[in-house]
Structure 1
Amino acid sequence: MLLAGLSFALVLLALPASAAITYPPEDKAVVGYYASWASYQGITPDQLPGELLTHINYAFAAIDPKDSTLLLQDPEQDRNNLKLLRALRDKHPHLKLLISVGGWDDSLYFSDAAATAQRREQFAQSCLDFLLEHGLDGVDLDWEYPVSGGPSGMVHRSQDKQNFTLLLQAVRSKLDRQSRQDGRPYYLTIAGGAGSEYLNKIEVEAVARTVDHIFLMAYDIHGPWDAYADLNAPLYTPTERSPQYKSSVFDSVQLYLNRGVDPEKLVLGMPLYGYRYDGVDSRNNGLYSTFSSAASIPYDVLERNYLNQTKYRKLYHGEAEVPYLYGEGAFLSYEDPRSMAAKSELARAQGLGGIGFWELSQDRDAVLIQSARAALMGGAFTDVAPGDWYYEAVEYVRGKGLMAGTSAGVFSPGRPVNRGMAAVILHRLEGSPSAGATVFSDVVQQSYCGDAVSWAASKGIVGGYGDGRFGPGHTLTREQLAVMLYRYAQYKGYDVSGRASLSGYTDSNEIGSYAGPAMGWAVSSGLIHGLKDTRLMPRGAITRAEAAVILMRFCESPWTGNDRP
């Protein structure tokens, strides 16, 4: 497991979506599926975050069983949606628009379309005709599934495995021929299942060579079809005992890579939804419990109706690196900005071709999309440049999951850190251990720092003001950070015996009596340096840039065992 003791990205603050946007690198795809039925729910294509995406796949076209041609099942609405998508592309010319064929409900006749050379020719020509008629850039085939599986009534043949390759090659040939004629690129992609069962049903290497990319559906690893409540898309496989099969996003990626797929051909798909399981047992907060019913729930609904409700306890699985909720007899598996960033970090670390999402209407404010996209860009913050004195430190703490951007592509190095944020950083550094109830009157347990402050207080790492308050929103001072790190080092059993003389600093008399030993240790350890005019500024505010530098020094100190070779 990568960095098992640490979590990946954490968005400490949220800024309005109007913050500056930087388009993704041209060699990385950011793909979003938009479902036709979303327009009936009031989410029309013109509302989609075109500036954040490289490809939009319109889902779904079906296959006419009579002649294996593409079929719009709601022609009037579909045509209007496609018109709005083209208008969105006019505003964002980098966008590529693809028609996605199939999906769970509309894959019934893929086997027929692939069965003979004549049928494959008809299907391929129909795909090209559809693109030209509607002004699209490509086609995405979502066959669920060749050989076996899929919905009731699905047509299967044992030859589907080989015929799928032949079908793709027929479409590829049509698109390439048209591209030579009009000088435009046309794209061919597929959506691929996350397990070995799917890979055994296709000719993996031949498929990968034929398509521009494979959208890996790395979600629904667990769901309502299981016997037990479980995590929808765990990044890594938990090592704890489970009553059912175990797998993960990481395992799915490795399956494809081990089958010889070029990593640049893989786009890591992520869910913008979760699952709610009702009637679960309270043991283990509902995880691995039997349940009475379950249903999909969009992130928007989760954010609006669950995440700010005190009756639902926020939990985080440190190994799987995904959040979940428990309350009122319900277990909810979902994604948050932190878990999405962690998945993107995996995609980046593995050299994958990009990331993608099902389904765009479920994240109206692009909260999850922005977090995932920013992580894919490798922490390329628009306000942190190579050569800045804090550049290396910002990249370090971002990579360790201690700090991330305040919004997509923005770090805000000059913004002060508050006390609540500092507790969260140390809590994440420790691997997000469980915490008891809050002991402070001004810290809400369900707030972003509730568990962190409770844990840190229980370990003696943080304290309050003596009147029952902690002051989570109060600006963190240099001496307060020194004290928190000193106490955390004590908690970890590190050597904190070092003391530097502070008498040479002109403002040493301003150091609080509670902070004296910690400041002496922090200066002795090289964590905090004095200013050129021999001041320590113990009560000065800590900026995000300064915090990043101090945290990097702390993590790389020899007594932590993490110092660089």
Structure 2
Amino acid sequence: MASFLYCVRKFLVAVCVIAIILEAIFTGRIRTSTKMSAFQEYFNSLGKSNSMLSTNREAGTGLSPDNKSGFVTGMYYSNWSPYAARKHFPHDIDFRKLTHIYYAFLVVNSETGECQLSDEWSDVQMDLYKQMISSFKKLDLRAHFPTDPKKKLPLGCIGELFFLKYSDFLVRNGGSAGVNNFKTIMSVGGWSNREAFTSLVESPTKLEAFVDSCVKKMFEYGFDGIDIDWEFPKNDAKEPNVYLSMLKSLRERLDLLESHIFGSKDHERHFTLTSAISADEEVIKYLPLQEADRYVDYWNLMAYDFSGAWSAQTAYQSNLYSPVNANKRDTNNKNSADNAVRFLTDGFKLAPKKIVLGMPAYGRGFKDVEVSHKSIQNVIGQPFQGVSGLSEGESGISLYKQLPLKGGMEFFDRNAVSAYSVKLSHNKKQAELMVYDNVDSMIQKARYVEKNHLGGGFWWESCGEDYKGKSLVGAFTNEIKYLNKTEPTIYSLPEVVQYYLKLHPGGFLASTFQN
């Protein structure tokens, strides 16, 4: 009997030990899971896939966190996005598969030549603390911040973008390691500011003021580089030369800033210089791109807007290849991303790895398109009467997330690599047509980027991206092998912070660095 009771006691002790071990294991897992699920819940509330949380190649995302020479992926964020009807803020962006955010736009002051903010309220005055925190309201912020995060968050969209890349806010709240490894680039110019660049052509003083103020603004507001979006230098024997001089001077001034920060010691990190260029051969053929290439890190090839209200007939707006049945009467029929890439690599001898393929997160629409009696799909190269679109305030534009057309049909031209949506009128003799990129386009374009050894891809613009399961960025990055997302912002280096506080002790980012 005693022997029996002894065995029972040993059994009960063993059960208790096992129970304690299991409790420790599962409690730890539950706590970890709770932290992760909060972050996932936030992104899933935007419709983002759970699988996108990982940046591990083995998880099937196509990313390699250990690769230092992979592809870049950029997204333009416009400073008019916070306003109605978009209500799109920096924290709404899915940063997990992006290496660069281009902030659009700072502009040229035609009177002084200086680079300046285009919307001070949106840029550096808007308080986004409540919007950002409410987006992460499921998270226990107090558990992760010893001080009030509002003290660390600079104002405006520029401030929030800096905070999200500089702090570990996203990582501490369940994001994968490296989610905040993205650069912010200050984009200067844009279509609406195109005329102001001409003021720099006749005045070396204004050009010098522009270059000097660009670099100062970039550093003051915590950008990792500058993007020049001059649309477009004219072939007048002056503007192309000023364009070259501008890029050369900017690179020299950025190098000078680096020497002030790092001294004479060797350093691998530097401030980025890019330029957005047209994909139209007629626009870029007289630009000194080969001479300017030594100063530029990447050429952002705007391979979109091939068609629109100005077109003679309907046409794709972002096709990778020229359509087989392109209308010969349309002067835009030769436009394609591939033709532009070939022109840059063969004509200008640019290195493919410095060319970043631009793609639209929007579609262009045509109305009252004549429908061929042969097939509803034969709507390309047809007459139309006006343009149509669903994006408020943008004639002829629909955001990608608004497509395909409700009540219409979606098609994909595998030869040209372009999606299009067709919605028939009641009499079935006319139709509304929308041309755009979709997930199928991204797969083919990602393969093209890989095959031709391009630098990567970028999108205009973030408010049009669909985060509800058909993400353009997600489809693109799932296809490419490696993403260059290992390097944090240059402001993570203590030398940069120390120099900033020395130069701007009460500057825009001073409290963020000091807290």
TM-score tier after normalising by the smaller chain length = 0.5 to 0.7
Match of 2:353 in 1: 264
Is the partner of 2:339 in helix, strand or coil?
Answer: helix
Match of 1:144 in 2: 231
Q: 1:102 and 2:167 equivalent? A: no
Distance 2:109 2:204 in 1: 17
Distance 2:195 2:313 in 1: 29
Match of 2:96 in 1: 51
Cα offset for 1:181?
1.8
Match of 1:36 in 2: 79
Is the partner of 2:309 in helix, strand or coil?
Answer: coil
Q: 1:86 and 2:172 equivalent? A: no
Letter in 2 for 1:182: I
Write the deviation string for residues 283-335 of structure 1: whole angstroms up to 9, x where unpaired.
153221211221111111115xx2xx4x3122221310222111122111121
Aligned counterpart for 1:280 among listed residues 369, 391, 402: 369
Mark the CA change 1:114 to 1:88 in structure 2 (over 3 Å): closer, same or farther: farther
Distance 2:198 2:345 in 1: 27
What are the within-5 Å matches in structure 2 for residues 119-518 of structure 1?
Answer: 119-147=206-234, 158-183=237-262, 185-242=270-327, 243-245=329-331, 246=333, 247-258=335-346, 259-283=348-372, 284-285=375-376, 286-294=379-387, 295-303=396-404, 306=405, 309=406, 311-328=407-424, 329-365=431-467, 367-377=471-481
User: Does the CA-based 8 Å contact 2:96-2:180 persist in structure 1?
Assistant: no
Match of 2:59 in 1: none
Distance 1:15 1:58 in 2: 26
User: Does the CA-based 8 Å contact 1:194-1:218 persist in structure 2?
Assistant: yes
Distance 1:364 1:374 in 2: 15
Mark the CA change 1:378 to 1:135 in structure 2 (over 3 Å): closer, same or farther: closer
Distance 2:258 2:322 in 1: 43
Letter in 2 for 1:298: L
Distance 1:326 1:17 in 2: 32
Write the deviation string for residues 66-98 of structure 1: whole angstroms up to 9, x where unpaired.
221112121121110101111221244421111
Mark the CA change 1:26 to 1:296 in structure 2 (over 3 Å): closer, same or farther: farther
Mark the CA change 1:256 to 1:18 in structure 2 (over 3 Å): closer, same or farther: closer
Cα offset for 1:379?
11
Mark the CA change 1:51 to 1:162 in structure 2 (over 3 Å): closer, same or farther: same
User: Does the CA-based 8 Å contact 1:179-1:185 persist in structure 2?
Assistant: yes
User: Does the CA-based 8 Å contact 1:114-1:167 persist in structure 2?
Assistant: no
User: Does the CA-based 8 Å contact 2:313-2:382 persist in structure 1?
Assistant: yes
Cα offset for 1:241?
4.5
Distance 1:72 1:371 in 2: 34
Distance 1:18 1:125 in 2: 40
Mark the CA change 1:132 to 1:15 in structure 2 (over 3 Å): closer, same or farther: closer
Letter in 2 for 1:26: K
Letter in 1 for 2:463: S
Distance 2:383 2:449 in 1: 33
In terms of mean alpha carbon deviation, does 319-328 or 22-31 score higher?
22-31
Is the partner of 1:107 in helix, strand or coil?
Answer: helix
Is the partner of 1:139 in helix, strand or coil?
Answer: strand
Mark the CA change 1:241 to 1:334 in structure 2 (over 3 Å): closer, same or farther: closer
Is the partner of 2:210 in helix, strand or coil?
Answer: helix
Distance 1:254 1:356 in 2: 18
Cα offset for 1:112?
2.2
Mark the CA change 1:379 to 1:163 in structure 2 (over 3 Å): closer, same or farther: closer
Q: 1:26 and 2:114 equivalent? A: no
User: Does the CA-based 8 Å contact 2:299-2:356 persist in structure 1?
Assistant: yes
Distance 1:364 1:17 in 2: 16
Mark the CA change 1:72 to 1:378 in structure 2 (over 3 Å): closer, same or farther: closer
Aligned counterpart for 1:63 among listed residues 68, 90, 108: 108
Distance 1:368 1:351 in 2: 20
In terms of mean alpha carbon deviation, does 266-275 or 26-35 score higher?
26-35
Distance 1:54 1:379 in 2: 8
User: Does the CA-based 8 Å contact 1:314-1:325 persist in structure 2?
Assistant: yes
Letter in 1 for 2:383: T
Write the deviation string for residues 475-503 of structure 1: whole angstroms up to 9, x where unpaired.
xxxxxxxxxxxxxxxxxxxxxxxxxxxxx
Distance 1:113 1:327 in 2: 47
What are the within-5 Å matches in structure 2 for residues 519-538 of structure 1?
Answer: none
Q: Can you give the 5+ residue segments of structure 2 that lack an aligned partner in the other structure? A: 1-47, 57-62, 125-155, 169-178, 263-268, 388-395, 425-430, 485-515
User: Does the CA-based 8 Å contact 2:186-2:226 persist in structure 1?
Assistant: yes
Instruction: State TM-score, norm by structure 1.
Output: 0.60
Cα offset for 1:225?
1.4
Cα offset for 1:15?
4.8
The number of residues matched between the two structures is 354
Distance 2:409 2:119 in 1: 42
Cα offset for 1:119?
2.5
Q: Can you give the 5+ residue segments of structure 1 that lack an aligned partner in the other structure? A: 1-13, 149-156, 381-565
Is the partner of 1:182 in helix, strand or coil?
Answer: helix
In terms of mean alpha carbon deviation, does 239-248 or 264-273 score higher?
239-248
Is the partner of 1:42 in helix, strand or coil?
Answer: coil
User: Does the CA-based 8 Å contact 2:185-2:227 persist in structure 1?
Assistant: yes
Is the partner of 1:227 in helix, strand or coil?
Answer: coil
Letter in 2 for 1:21: T
Distance 1:290 1:216 in 2: 29
Aligned-pair identity in percent equals: 25
User: Does the CA-based 8 Å contact 2:95-2:180 persist in structure 1?
Assistant: no
Distance 1:47 1:19 in 2: 15
RCO comparison, higher one (Cα < 8 Å, 6+): 2
Distance 1:196 1:323 in 2: 23
Distance 1:249 1:293 in 2: 25
Mark the CA change 1:114 to 1:185 in structure 2 (over 3 Å): closer, same or farther: farther
Write the deviation string for residues 439-497 of structure 1: whole angstroms up to 9, x where unpaired.
xxxxxxxxxxxxxxxxxxxxxxxxxxxxxxxxxxxxxxxxxxxxxxxxxxxxxxxxxxx
Distance 1:127 1:76 in 2: 19
Mark the CA change 1:19 to 1:136 in structure 2 (over 3 Å): closer, same or farther: closer
Letter in 1 for 2:446: S
Mark the CA change 1:241 to 1:367 in structure 2 (over 3 Å): closer, same or farther: closer
Cα offset for 1:180?
1.7
